[in-house]
Every structure is written in C-alpha cells, then in structure tokens.
Structure 1
Amino acid sequence: MIGLDVIGIRLVSPEDPPVLLLQEEGGTRCLPVWIGTQEAAAIASALEGELPARPMTHDLLAALLVMIRPEGGEVLITGIEEGVYQARLQLGDVSIDARPSDCVAAALRLEWPIRCPRELMDQVGVEVSEGAPDEVEAFKAFLDSVNADDFEDENP
C-alpha cells in the first residue's frame, strides 16, 4: 500500500462533476476521482480548516468514528470496478465499504491516513509534476478529455 495526499478538488467545467486529486506520497502520480458536489464541498471545507456552526454529515461521521475507534483508523482506496473507485474505512479489524469521497472527507477531519494498493496507482495513476506549468496544463487538458468511464477495469 502507498500513502496518498489530498491535493485538492478541481473543476474541469461547470457542467462536469468535481475531481478529487489524490497524489502518491513522495511521488508525482495522482488518482483522479470524480465525486459529487456535496462531497467536494465537504472535502474543500476540511482542507480549508473551516468549522461549521453546526456539524455537517461528515463531521457527524467523524465524531461517530472517534467514538467507535478512539485509537484511529485509515482509509483504503481499494480498487476500481467499471470506472467506479471502491474504498473502505478500516477500523482495526473492522472494514466498512464506503464511497471514496465520504472516506476522504472523514479522513481529513480525523487526520487519518489514506492509502491505495501500488497496483491501482500503476493501473490508473496519472503522472503530474509539481511546478512544471506545461505539465500542469497537460494534466488539465487530460481532465478535459476523459470521463470516469475511461478508467474501467480492463481485467474484470
């Protein structure tokens, strides 16, 4: 398993869904994960360190996870099936199936690690170099030209 850092949320265009970018720790590849607008807002607010006046859904989830497993847990982006990423909240010996966006929103609030199998990154990771404007533009062009169906598993 390799660690993943949340780079942020990107909008390719107003009519397309937001893209969550997860970059391999110490590397230059990203997993682009298409997510819903509500989840994107929850992740963005966690990245900005915003605290709502009243707990939102992901804040409630985080509070419950702390009650269930005070010693912490982790998020595992486990694979991709038919263009849809699969994820799990790992609480010690207990593993809970969940959407990657919900897992990441909770992990950011709890400061839990996010990981994925190296094979997944090898399969669908996109190479991106920090600080190289032409490569960043190439990645943006890549995002403009693909959709979630392009990441379907070729070996079901």
Structure 2
Amino acid sequence: MIGLEVVGIRLLTPEDPPVLLLREEDGTRCLPIWIGNQEAAAIASALEDEVPERPLTHDLLAAVMTLLEPDMGTVIIVDMEDGVYSAELHAGGHAIDARPSDCVALALRLDWPIQCPRELMDQVGVEVEAASTDEVEAFRAFLDSVNADDFDSDNP
C-alpha cells in the first residue's frame, strides 16, 4: 500500500464534474477521481477547516466514528473498474464498501490515512501539474453560488 495525500479539487471546465486529486506520498502521480458537486463541497469544506453551524452528513458520520472507533481507521481506494473507483473504510476490524469521495471527506475530518495498492497507482496514476490559484478561486466561487435547490432531483 502507498499513502495518498489530498491535493484538492479541480474543475476542468465549469460544466464538467469536479475531479478529486489524490497524490502518492513522496511522488508525483495522482489518482484523478471524478466526484459529485456535493461531495466536492464536503471535501473542500474539510480542506478549509470550515465548521458548519449544524453538522452536515460527513460531520455526523465523523462524530459517530469517533465514538465507535476511538483508534484510527484507514481509507483504502481499492481499485478502478470501467472508470469507477471503489473504496473501503477500515475501522473496528471491519471493511465497509463506500464511495471514494465519501471516504476522503470522512478521512479529512478524522485525520485518517488514505491509501491505495501500488498496482492501482501504476495502472491509473497520472502526472498532474500543480493547481493554479485561478482554478481554486473558480471552484470557491462555484461553491459560493450553489444552494440546496440546485441539487433537487426535479431540477434539470
């Protein structure tokens, strides 16, 4: 297993879904994982150490995990098949299947390590240039412009 660091979220274009970048520790390759806007917002708020007035879903899960698993857990990005990544949350002697974005949002809140098999990085890892501040600011502006109604399933 190799350790992964959260580089951040990138937007290729405003119309495309956000991309979560996980870089190998002491390396230059990244796992690019396309994620939803809500998950991107949850990860971005954890990266910015934002504390909401009321706990959001990932904050609630982090609080529950702290109660149930006082020792450190681990997030493992297990594999990628047909363009879809799989992840597991390892805690309390259990491996729980979950989306990578949810696992990363939780790991950031709990300061848990994120890992992947070296074979996965060798298979799908890509070299990625450092994000420009313009991209980060564009994503922050996007997050500031969305509200809960934007994610309503009846809203096209």
The TM-score with structure 1 as length reference comes to: 0.81
Offset, 1:128: 3.1
Query: Percent same amino acid at aligned positions?
Result: 70
Note the aligned Cα RMSD (angstroms): 1.4
Which amino acid in the other structure matches residue 42 of structure 1? Answer: A
Distance 1:81 1:125 in 2: 14
Offset, 1:50: 0.4
Please say if 1:21 is aligned against 2:1: no
Distance 1:32 1:50 in 2: 24
Task: Quote the residue 1:149 is aligned against.
Answer: none
Distance 1:82 1:63 in 2: 33
1:72-87 aligned within 5 A: 72-87=72-87
Task: Quote the residue 1:139 is aligned against.
Answer: none
Aligned residues: 132
Offset, 1:92: 3.9
Encode CA deviations 1:62-83: one digit per residue, 9 max, x unaligned: 1111111111201000001111
Distance 1:81 1:45 in 2: 29
Offset, 1:54: 0.4
Is there any run of 5+ residues in structure 2 with no aligned partner, and where? 133-156
Distance 1:90 1:126 in 2: 26
Task: Quote the residue 2:55 is aligned against.
Answer: 55
Please say if 1:46 is aligned against 2:60: no
Please say if 1:100 is aligned against 2:100: yes
Offset, 1:127: 1.6
Whether the 8 Å contact between 1:28 and 1:130 is mirrored in structure 2 is no
Task: Quote the residue 2:30 is aligned against.
Answer: 30
Runs of 4+ off more than 4 Å: none
Whether the 8 Å contact between 1:77 and 1:86 is mirrored in structure 2 is yes
